[in-house]
Structure 1
């Protein structure tokens, strides 16, 4: 029995069907025809613009770093020195003291007199007026309770009697008037509405409905005729113009606009590379024309001359100046020491020798003289 079987041959893979050949559309041919001329023209127009834009950007950065940045950092300090500190000093040393003085003056001249007038004049006067008002109120309450209330009750009883008499008379009169109005007005009005006005109204409504139907039919017919006339005269020609003229022109303009936009982007990128190369060339030219000669002059001429001047002139002058300063400081120190000793001698002659301070130990005593919790005195108060 054969345990090793030969490997099965792989099945041939079916190739995917080739995509159908794409036919070139008229729009694609138009794009290919106008692409190269448009890109050339746009590149010629965009390169100066891009170089000018890069020059403006570089000038703006230099201006910001060299002028606007330091000026912006200096303006807050200048404003603080010219406005904030004078304002703070004016507020602290002028406005606040003047305000406090005015507050004290107002308290002395206005508040204290007003408080005293309120306490010693207006308050007693108000208490007197309140007492008088309470007396007048008590008298008014007595007059109301003893005089006006009985008179009001009597007048009310009289008016109730007259109202009852007038109500009885009015009830009889109203009944008679109601019956008279029923037979003279209501019954004839109901008959007139039922047999004259209602039939006339129904006839008028029927006539109005017929007139509205006739007018609606006429308007519908005229509207349909006008719709078809407008459709034939305006809508169908407009659709034909849009389909046969505006749509192809719009597609052509869209292709031209898209190609112009792509050409602008392509030209802008190319102009960026050109502007970068020109900038690097100018930077290299500036470096070799100005920077390198200046660096050579500094390295080969100015630095050796500066070191020579420093070694031969400045350093000896600095050493001499430092020696003169040390001598002057020593002379001043000796003069101060002499003056201090002279003052001490004069003070000793006038007031005698000063007493030497006696040293006092402020530490806790040791042994039996230490402070205890049961004793009534402390170690500091003992003899």
Structure 2
């Protein structure tokens, strides 16, 4: 490779003009100066947005969702389950009871019985016992009496019409009307058409055809001449228009399109390409600068705020917290636990004492039940001397003076 020749830098297109080379560095510097604040503001807003989203928006969204679920969805679900659903079922039952069951009862117990026993059964009975015999009788009368009479009457009327009307009309048509129409009207009209009207029509048609041919030839000749003149005139106008159009097009291309195209290719395209490339490079460089500034600010914030706070937390707060936990909180918690246990034991003892005192007072007032008195024999309740009333608190004793069983030696 010949290193003596000039090589285009990487990223530059070969064959660039002097304008591109001259404006590249100034444009990139100006664009960097303009883009750097915007990129730093953009990065700051992005970081602020991420921090706000992580610290504020997500917890706020969760809180709003919890509030929505607690204050809206849960009451609505409870309302739907325990209020609206029973109300809907009650309304449906009431609607069925008010609007469906009455119609069913009306149809089943009123309309159907009335239609069946008030209309259908009488109609069937009337048809079977009245209309059917009446129809059979009328059919027999018509078949046996009226039909032969009508048949004879029809034959007589037909013979009279034939003799009095049809035969005379046929005679008149055949021997009067047809000869008169044929020899008095049709034959003269046919002769007149064939021998008079046809020659006159043919002559008139020949004269009109000759007249039309002459007129058509005259008009055709005039039209051809006029068309030739107009065609020559149009060719001249078209040639003049083409010349003028070519001249105007050449002027427009030379004075307007060519300069605009040259300016677009040589000026606007390189400038636009360089501006776009400058914006791309400036945005990337501004990103690096913004990242460096952010890291520097983070380093300063850590060394000015974070490190002292961390040192204070590790050096001061943690030992103090451990001391408070071991020297104050743990003994206080143990003392509170012991006090709680002692209080629970005292309450338990007091409850047992109160129960025992209440039980002793009840025994003193009404006496203890028989099952709870130890050492007393169970048997027939004792009775008083002058009464048959059983004394619940009296001691049970045998009626024998010696305390033995009076029925032991019997039998």
Change (3 A) 1:305 1:124: same
Are 1:45 and 2:34 an aligned pair? yes
Q: What is residue 280 of structure 2 aligned with on the other side?
A: 265
Cα deviations across residues 121-160 of structure 1 (Å, max 9, x unaligned)?
Answer: 444566638997998xx99xx9xxx9xxx9xxx9xx99xx
Are 1:80 and 2:69 an aligned pair? yes
Deviation at 1:26, TM superposition (A): 8.0
Q: What is residue 101 of structure 1 aligned with on the other side?
A: 90
Q: What is residue 222 of structure 1 aligned with on the other side?
A: 237
Q: Distance in 1 between matches of 2:78 and 2:189?
A: 97
Q: What is residue 334 of structure 2 aligned with on the other side?
A: 319
Residue of structure 2 aligned with 1:91, choices 80, 83, 98: 80
Are 1:256 and 2:245 an aligned pair? no
**What are the equivalent positions in structure 2 for 1:129-168 lying under 5 Å apart?**
none
Deviation at 1:19, TM superposition (A): 12
Q: Distance in 1 between matches of 2:240 and 2:110?
A: 100
Change (3 A) 1:82 1:120: same
Say whether the 8 Å CA contact 1:35–1:259 is kept in structure 2. yes
Are 1:279 and 2:294 an aligned pair? yes
Say whether the 8 Å CA contact 1:27–1:252 is kept in structure 2. no
Cα deviations across residues 194-247 of structure 1 (Å, max 9, x unaligned)?
Answer: 344465456545544553444343223212211211221x20011112565222
Q: What is residue 104 of structure 2 aligned with on the other side?
A: 115
Are 1:238 and 2:259 an aligned pair? no
Q: Taking structure 2 as the reference length, what is the TM-score of the superposition?
A: 0.61
Deviation at 1:103, TM superposition (A): 1.5
The Cα RMSD (Å) is 4.9
Q: What is residue 367 of structure 1 aligned with on the other side?
A: none
Are 1:57 and 2:39 an aligned pair? no
> Partner of 2:17: helix, strand, or coil?
helix
Residue of structure 2 aligned with 1:247, choices 241, 258, 261: 261
**What are the equivalent positions in structure 2 for 1:324-343 lying under 5 Å apart?**
324-330=339-345
Deviation at 1:333, TM superposition (A): 6.0
**What are the equivalent positions in structure 2 for 1:191-230 lying under 5 Å apart?**
194-197=209-212, 200-201=215-216, 203-204=218-219, 207-230=222-245
Q: What is residue 365 of structure 1 aligned with on the other side?
A: none
Q: Distance in 1 between matches of 2:203 and 2:353?
A: 146
**Structure 1: which 5+ residue stretches go unaligned?**
1-15, 354-383
Residue of structure 1 aligned with 2:60, choices 57, 65, 71: 71
Cα deviations across residues 297-348 of structure 1 (Å, max 9, x unaligned)?
Answer: 21222222222222222111110121123334445666788899999xx9xx
> Mean Cα displacement is larger for which, 120-129 or 110-119?
120-129
Deviation at 1:106, TM superposition (A): 1.6
Q: Distance in 1 between matches of 2:262 and 2:322?
A: 82
Q: What is residue 358 of structure 1 aligned with on the other side?
A: none
**Structure 2: which 5+ residue stretches go unaligned?**
144-149, 373-411
Q: Distance in 1 between matches of 2:26 and 2:188?
A: 109
Q: Distance in 1 between matches of 2:201 and 2:111?
A: 76
Deviation at 1:256, TM superposition (A): 1.2
- Identify which of structures 1 and 2 has the higher relative contact order when contacts are C-alpha pairs closer than 8 Å and 6+ apart: 1
